[in-house]
Amino acid sequence: MELVRELHRRGYQTVGWDRSQLDIADNRQVESVLTPWDPEIVFNAAAYNQVDVAESEPQAALLVNALAVRNLALACHQLDARFIHFSTDYVFDGAARRPYVENDPTHPLGAYGVSKLAGEIYAQAYLDAPLIVRTSGVFGPGGLRTARGNFVEVMLRLARSGQPIRVVEDHVASPTYAPLLAARTLDLVERGQTGIFHVAGGTPTSWFHYAQSIFAAALPDHAVELHSTNEREYRTAAHRPKFSALSNARMESLGIEPMPSLGEALRLYFAAREKLLNSSRA
């Protein structure tokens, strides 16, 4: 959604498909749908991102995050189209304890991360010059329209319940505002960049501090019972990297505008959120 909006803003002609319109896991369907359009650029923003569920159904994660990427890469090879693919901070294990750069060794800890890394490998195997954009903890206005929402909407929903909220403080990521991710990705595309780039939020942040920032921005006068917890107390099916923040230094070295702080990103989010809610009420 945000990617299409940014493409339109810059004057590109676009066509987009959701899962009900195009099953990218079906190689023949990918070829038959893309070929008539003969696109110059193909963006893949689809993903299986249920990190914990992937541990019990790794085949489903591999089908969408790896084999479907192969299908798209093959189609782009046949059509001589540029391929832009989005990946994740979960290709790393978090052992570095500092923001990851693009050439750091990968070492995913679970089925989701393995499937996303496999997608990167497929894109690089079938194409000479794909652009792979790794990002982290994406949140955007589109989360208002989905059943699962995003981390911001989950926190607000829990706050409305009045129940105590527990969030891990020992896992650090780079929460990323979706419209800015779309804009920076197109900046890379328009500069003809290829290879792997990190485009993530400008502030390495624990999930607990992220929750605190959400409530400070959205509910400054509302008492929310927020408690910190840790990996040992809050067990999940998937093993996640404890420090998966990403460095945007390579992107910034091209003169592309840095990503803003988390506080500024949340301000932009809540402004866009209010605009959407007001338009739905009208």
> Which residues participate in catalysis according to the annotation?
112
How far is it between the farthest Cα atoms of the chain? 57
Number of neighbouring beta carbons within 10 Å of residue 42: 19
**Rounded Cα–Cα distance for residues 197 and 259 (Å):** 14
**Rounded Cα–Cα distance for residues 271 and 141 (Å):** 10
- Tell me phi and psi for residue 22, to 5 degrees: -150, 120
Number of neighbouring beta carbons within 10 Å of residue 201: 28
**Rounded Cα–Cα distance for residues 208 and 5 (Å):** 31
